[in-house]
Chain A
């Protein structure tokens, strides 16, 4: 069986994620549980080393859908299957940027995707904190969680 290729766009998105993570040094998030059921709430502890009032800080719940597509242009590289990422769910709420420690409660959508790791389709959930930067990419720190159906 020929291998599946990760598309250039997907590679670029994942690379940017690493850059954002590096820019988020000093921000940490810790979900109270690693598994949560759809329709329930999730508490997330947020810690910021250098809080700055007025500098926006947002806490979010994000689900990424990863899926296989047919890409005939990849044939020359030995495969016609490419892997793409898309955001299946995303909600951000503002946090208090003046606090060094706080707990934020997020609602897990009752009719959203559940964590799934299939052959051609995957849904991965994470909680994340993001803080816009004056220049360049937003700083984003995230932790994976598992959403049960």
Chain B
């Protein structure tokens, strides 16, 4: 049985400078060396050219095998100058949380988009 994860975020929307709080749930357990989480700013064009210009590590959440039903909380601060999400005709910029289980062979990833908006306007 393959390992299955789910990411739940505490808020639907964040702004630059705020802290992204969430939980990684283990839906189906399995062998793992470690579980870690990161918050990434992603870039993609319509033809699927992708890049990750910003990676904010959220640290190790757990070491060793993962058991179904376990949950791990995380918090990762967005920088004060974090860019917001934006979708254009030919491309997409967005934030996502990536929970990664380090395993023998292919790692398990669970990714969840995060809506990040501009900070409230300053005079």
Residues of A within 8 A of B (CB): 37-40, 65, 67-70, 81, 84, 86, 88, 113-114, 116, 118-121, 123, 149
Contact = CB atoms under 8 A, between A and B. Distances in A.
Contacts, number: 64
B83 A114 contact: yes
Given A69-B45, A116-B86, A119-B53, 11 more contacts: A38-B118, A70-B47, A70-B49, A88-B89, A113-B88, A116-B83, A119-B43, A119-B51, A120-B50, A121-B90, A149-B84
Provide the main secondary structure of the chain B interface.
Answer: loop
Given A114-B83, A120-B45, A149-B83, A67 B121 contact: no
- Chain A CB count within 10 A is highest, among B47, B50, B121, for B47
B91 A121 contact: yes
Contacts of A121: 43-45, 88, 90-91, 93
B105 interface: no
A39 B120 CA distance: 11
B62 to A, nearest CB: 32
Contact of B90 (A37, A81, A84, A116): A84
A80 B43 CA distance: 19
Contacts of A70: 47-49
Contacts of A123: 88
B47 A118 contact: no
B92 to A, nearest CB: 8
Contacts of A88: 88-89
